[in-house]
Structure formats: C-alpha cells, structure tokens
Structure 1
Amino acid sequence: MKVIKIHHPMADSLQFSEPVVLAMGFFDGIHLGHQQVIKTAVNRAKQLGIKAAVLTYDHHPQVVYKRLDEHDRRYLTLPEQKFQLLEQLGVDQVFLINYSYAFQDQTPAEFIQNYLVRFNAQVVVAGFDHTYGEKQIATMERLPEFSQGRFEIITVPKLQQQAQKVSSTAIKESLDSGNVTSVNKMLGRNFTTIGTVVHGEQVGRTIGYPTINVEHNPLQWLPTIGIYVVRVKIGEVWYQGMASIGKNVTFYNDHPVTVEINLLDFKQNVYGEVVTVEWLKYLRGEEKFASVEELIDQLQVDEQNTRQFFGTNSN
C-alpha cells in the first residue's frame, strides 16, 4: 500500500492519472463502522477494476478548532497501526493530508476541486455523518450539490450495536471505564497497543509475580487504571498474562502511571523488545493493600481468574 503525504496547498507537481474509489474519514480506531465505509469503497473499486484509496489526516482535525488536553490528544490507532489495518482491508493507497487551518478553511467547492477531482476520484465513499469543511454546510447530504455530477457518491449509514452508535467516541468512553469487552465488540477485533519493554522498579519479582514494564507512545489511548487479562506478542509468539495499569499504590504514594504485565509461566529476559498487547477483559480496579501479603493473595485470585479466562476462551 502506498502512502502519499500531502501539505496544503497541494503541489502542482503531484498529478494522479489513475482513477480511484476514494473513502474519506479520519478513521481513528478502524472500528466496525469505519470498516463498513472502507469495505464499501474496496468492493466498488473491484467492481470498476480500479484502485481503492483513502483520504485521511495526519492528526485529529480538532487540533485546529480547540485546545485538547493531554488525554484527549491521544489516539486509538497510531499511524503505523492504522496503515496496517487499512492495507489488511484491501486499500491500495492513502492520501495523508496535513490538516491545517488553511486546509479546513476551504469552501466545499474548493475542497472538491483541489482534492477529490485532482485525486481522479470516480466514486467517493464516506459515512453518513462525515464532513469536509464547515459542519453545517459541508455535509454528505449536500455533497451531490457541490460535486455537480463529477463523481458517484456513496453514503454509508450509521452502524449500531445494542442501540448505541459505533464510534471512536464510544470506544474511548468504554476504554475510560475499563470496558474492553465492549471496545472489542465495536472494533470487531481485540483492542491492541504496541510498546517497548523497559526497566521498572522490579517489585513484582520480589513477591513472586515478575512483570514486564511496557512503555507506550504518549499519544496512545490506553484503558483506564485497573487489572486486565491480556495477550502479549513477543517476536512471533503470543503469551498469556495479566496487566496492571496503575500507580503501584501499595508501594508508592505518588508513582506515575505504568503498564506492568505478569506473563504466565514466562521467565525470559525481554528488555528492549517491541511487543504487541491485546486487551481482553477487565478484572478489577487498582487497590491499595494494607500489606504485601494481602496484595499477594489478590494476585493469586487474579492469576486464577486469568487462567480461567484463557481456559474458556480460545485466542
């Protein structure tokens, strides 16, 4: 899959002669709703015998409109993972646009001429609520008016699960409440993060539960503080484990939030490894125990629950 980075205004030297079916969206998370849009574009491209392309952005458009706090600046899928998922869905190329004030300040007609027409889009596909400029004006309902018949338009309807719209916002809210089970249903796959194994405090090994400390990109949206059932991929091998996102409150009063994972029946030194973590189930919140013995007792319960999960769920 080819990724073409574009800064507005697009350079005259960039010419696109091949016709494409173009899916538009930021697609953070590539959840089931996003997948419906992308698969619609890929299938239409196959029908026409042309390439499937995606128009997306290098950062969230909200950066232009308002100041985001440290939490809201994060993403469900960082660029590398997003591109991998798009490629798996059959996308041939990505137009990655730097979303700036100048870009968003275009009128709908200017956006269509400057981008959709120049991309040689034969068909444009987007979700029902997608906008391409001023929210009250640049709607999918009005795209036929602005496009003046220069390309076919496919609007993909809302996808719901149990009367709830599947959206990146709903997924983030579920992660913030620890409900990774709901998250995985909306994604159509397990929520996955990627990080590097770094040195930690090494407290776990002193109580019989050694952990790997996984350092994530600060822009990665993570589940809320708590204890989780996870799988961890090291190299090409998946391992079962239980993860703690928290401040290690039994031992410290003001410790930063870390991700520590106890891998079941695992004794390798993996410092420096880049690992993939699948978040499977929320077990409980973080607790401050009165003694190390109470903590160990709870960890034994967590381990039993983790082993029971894997005993009844094939992954």
Structure 2
Amino acid sequence: MKVIKIHHPMADSLQFSEPIVLAMGFFDGIHLGHQQVIQTAVDRAKQLGIKSAVLTYDHHPQIVYNRLNDHDRRYLTLPEQKLQLLEKLGVDQVFIINYSYAFQDQTPAEFIQNYLVRFKAQVVVAGFDHTYGEKHIATMDRLPEYSQGQFEIITVPKLQQQSQKVSSTAIKAALDNGNVTVVNEMLGRNFATKGTVVHGEQVGRTIGYPTINVDHDPLQWLPTIGIYVVKVKVGDAWYQGMASIGKNVTFYSNHPITVEVNLLDFNRNVYGEVVTVEWLKYLHDEEKFDGIDELIEQLQIDEQDTRQFFKQNEN
C-alpha cells in the first residue's frame, strides 16, 4: 500500500495519472461504519478495474476549531495501526493531509479542484455525515452541486447497532465507561493497544501475581480505570491475562495511572518488548484494600473469572 503525505497547498511536483476510487474520512478507530465506507470504495474500484484510495488526515480536524484537552486529543487508532487496518481492507494507496487552518479555509469548490479532481478521482465515497470543510455547507448532500458531475458520488448511510449509531464518539464514550464489550461489537474486532514493557514497582511479584507494565503512547485512548480480561501478544504468541488500569491505590496515595497485566501461566523476562493488548471484558473498578490478604483474595477471584471467560470463549 502506497502512502503519500501532503502539506497544503499541494506541491506542483505531485502529479497523479491513474484514476482512483477515493474514500474520504478521518477514520479514527476504523469501526464497522468506517469499514463499510472503505469496503464500498474498494469494491467499486475492483468493478472499474482501477485502484482504491483513502483521503485522511494526520491529526484531529477539531484541533483547528477547538482547544482540545489532553483526554480528547487522544486517538482510538494511532497512525501505524490505522495504516495497517487500511491495508488489511485492501486499500491501494492513502493520502495523509496535514489538516491546517489554510486547508480547512478552502471553499468546497476549491477543495474539489485542488484535491479530488487532481487525484483523478472517478468515484468519491464517504459516510452520510462526512464534511470536507465548513460543516454547514461542505456536506455530502451538497457535494453533487459543487462537483458538477466531475465524478461519481456514493454516500454510505448510517450504521446502527441496537438503535445506537456506530461512531468514534460512541466508542470513546464506551471506553470511558469501561464497556469494552460494546466497543468490540462496534469495531467488529477486539480493541487493541500497543506499548512497551517497562519496569514498575514490582509489588505484584511479592504477592504471587507478577505483572508486566505496559507503557502506552500518551495519545492512545485507553479504557477507563478498572480490571479487565485481556489477551497479550508477545513476539508471535498470544497469552491470556488480567489487566489493571489504575493508580495502585492500595499501596500509594498519589500514583500515576499505569497499565499492568498479569499473564496467566507465564514466567519470562520481557522488559523492552513491544506488546499488543486486546481488551476483552471489564471485570470491576479498581479497589482500595485494607491489607495484602484482601488484595490477594480479590486477585484470586479475578483469576478465576478470567480463566472462566477464556474457557467459555475458546474461539
């Protein structure tokens, strides 16, 4: 898959000669709704015998409009994972545009000429609520008016699950509530994060539950504080585990939030390994215990629940 990074205004040296079917969107999360848009473009490209492409952006477009707090600046899929998912969906090339004030200040007609026409788009595909500039005027409903028949337009309708719209916003809200089950349903896969195993306080090993501390990119959206059933990929192998996102409140009064995973039936030194964590089920909130014995008792219950989950979900 070819990746082309673009700064606005696009350099004259960038020339495109092959026709494409172009899917537009920020696509944070690549959830089932996004997949429907992208798959529509890939399928249409195959029908026409031309390449499929995605137009996306290097950061939240909201950065141009609003001052985002540290929480809202995070992403469901960081750039590397997003590109991997797009490639799995069969996309031939990706245009990553730096979303700046100058870029968003284009009129719809300018955007079409500067990008869609210049990309040689024969077909443009996007979700029903996609905008490509000022949200009140740069709508999919008005794209035919601005494009003047220069390309075919396919608008993909809203996707709902249990009467709720599948969206990045809904997924983020579910993560903030610890509802990873709903998140995975909306994604059509398990929510996954990637991080490096680093040294922690090493308290777990003293009580029979050693953990790996997974240091995540600060821009990675994580589930809320709590205890979870997870799978962790170390090298080429997957391991079952139970994860804690929390502040180690039993031992510390003002500890930063960390991600610690106890891998079942695992006893290896993996410091420095880059691991993938798949979040499968929320068990309960982080608890503060009066002593070590209470903590160990809860860890034993969590281990039983975790093993039972995997027994019931062997596939």
Q: How does 1:243-258 map to 2 (within 5 A)?
A: 243-258=243-258
How much has 1:238 moved relative to structure 2? 0.1
- What SS does the aligned partner of 1:249 have? coil
For residues 257 and 273 of structure 2, the distance between their equivalents in structure 1, rounded to whole angstroms, comes to: 20
Q: How does 1:70-81 map to 2 (within 5 A)?
A: 70-81=70-81
How much has 1:314 moved relative to structure 2? 2.0
Could you say which residue in structure 2 is the equivalent of 1:64? 64
For residues 276 and 56 of structure 2, the distance between their equivalents in structure 1, rounded to whole angstroms, comes to: 25
1:243-263 Cα shifts (integer Å, max 9, x gaps): 000000000000000000000
Aligned length: 315
Q: How does 1:65-144 map to 2 (within 5 A)?
A: 65-144=65-144
For residues 197 and 20 of structure 1, the distance between their equivalents in structure 2, rounded to whole angstroms, comes to: 42
Matched, 1:197 2:197: yes
How much has 1:310 moved relative to structure 2? 0.3
Where does structure 2 lack aligned partners over 5 or more consecutive residues?
Answer: none
- What SS does the aligned partner of 1:40 have? helix
1:206-232 Cα shifts (integer Å, max 9, x gaps): 000000000000000000000000000
Could you say which residue in structure 1 is the equivalent of 2:47? 47
1:174-193 Cα shifts (integer Å, max 9, x gaps): 00000000000000000000
Identity level (%): 85
For residues 92 and 200 of structure 1, the distance between their equivalents in structure 2, rounded to whole angstroms, comes to: 42
- What SS does the aligned partner of 2:251 have? coil
Q: How does 1:1-315 map to 2 (within 5 A)?
A: 1-315=1-315
How much has 1:271 moved relative to structure 2? 0.2
Amino acid at match of 1:164: Q
Amino acid at match of 1:32: L
1:48-100 Cα shifts (integer Å, max 9, x gaps): 00000000000010000010000000000000000000000000000000000
For residues 239 and 136 of structure 2, the distance between their equivalents in structure 1, rounded to whole angstroms, comes to: 49
For residues 136 and 248 of structure 1, the distance between their equivalents in structure 2, rounded to whole angstroms, comes to: 47
For residues 292 and 170 of structure 1, the distance between their equivalents in structure 2, rounded to whole angstroms, comes to: 38
TM-score (norm 1): 1.00
For residues 136 and 73 of structure 1, the distance between their equivalents in structure 2, rounded to whole angstroms, comes to: 23
Amino acid at match of 1:92: D
Amino acid at match of 2:59: H
For residues 103 and 210 of structure 2, the distance between their equivalents in structure 1, rounded to whole angstroms, comes to: 50
1:87-120 Cα shifts (integer Å, max 9, x gaps): 0000000000000000000000000000000000
- What SS does the aligned partner of 1:293 have? helix
TM-score (norm 2): 1.00
For residues 55 and 218 of structure 1, the distance between their equivalents in structure 2, rounded to whole angstroms, comes to: 25
- What SS does the aligned partner of 1:280 have? strand
- What SS does the aligned partner of 1:76 have? coil
CA RMSD of superposed structures (Å): 0.4
1:138-159 Cα shifts (integer Å, max 9, x gaps): 0000000000000000000000
For residues 217 and 141 of structure 2, the distance between their equivalents in structure 1, rounded to whole angstroms, comes to: 38
For residues 240 and 42 of structure 1, the distance between their equivalents in structure 2, rounded to whole angstroms, comes to: 35
Amino acid at match of 2:155: T
- What SS does the aligned partner of 1:28 have? coil
For residues 309 and 151 of structure 2, the distance between their equivalents in structure 1, rounded to whole angstroms, comes to: 50
